[in-house]
C-alpha cells in the first residue's frame, strides 16, 4: 500500500509542478467564468467551486509536504553516511534530531575551530 501511495504521490507532485499547469489553470478559470456568466450559474455553484478549489489546494499541499519529507530523510541519510565515511566528527551525525541549543553549540564549536585554524 505504501508503495502505491508513493507512486501516486510522486506522479501527482510532478504533475502539479509541471510548468504548463499554471497557464492551463488560468485558461480553465477564464473559460469557466465566461461560461458561468453566460449561463447565469447560481451563487451556490461559485461557493461549491471555491470549496473544491480549497480541497484540491489542501490535497496538493499534503502531497508536496509528503514528498519533501521523504526527500529530506533521504538527504539526511546520505549526509550521515558521508560523515561516517569521512574524517569528520561523528557527533555531526543526525544533528537534525538534536534540540536547537545543542545544534547552536555544535555550530559555535565548528566556527571556533575554523577561526583557530585561520589564526
Convert the pLDDT of each residue in 91-105 to its tens digit.
777 777 788 888 888
Question: Above 80 in pLDDT, residue 119?
Answer: no
Q: How would you class 3 by CB atoms within 10 Å of its CB: exposed for 0-12, middle for 13-18, buried for 19 or more?
A: exposed
**Predicted pLDDT at 101:** 86
Per the prediction, the chain carries an average pLDDT of: 81
Q: What is the value of pTM for the model shown? A: 0.54
3-state secondary structure of 7: helix
Cβ within 8 Å of residue 103, ≥6 positions away = 95
Amino acid at each position: 500500500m505504501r508503495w502505491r501511495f508513493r507512486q501516486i504521490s510522486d506522479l501527482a507532485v510532478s504533475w502539479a509542478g509541471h510548468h504548463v499547469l499554471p497557464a492551463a489553470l488560468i485558461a480553465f478559470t477564464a473559460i469557466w467564468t465566461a461560461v458561468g456568466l453566460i449561463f447565469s450559474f447560481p451563487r451556490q455553484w461559485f461557493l461549491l467551486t471555491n470549496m473544491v478549489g480549497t480541497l484540491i489546494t489542501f490535497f496538493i499541499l499534503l502531497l508536496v509536504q509528503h514528498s519533501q519529507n521523504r526527500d529530506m530523510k533521504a538527504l539526511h541519510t546520505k549526509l550521515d553516511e558521508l560523515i561516517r565515511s569521512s574524517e569528520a566528527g561523528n557527533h555531526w551525525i543526525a544533528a537534525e534530531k538534536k534540540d536547537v541549543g545543542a545544534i547552536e553549540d555544535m555550530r559555535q564549536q565548528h566556527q571556533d575551530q575554523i577561526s583557530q585554524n585561520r589564526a
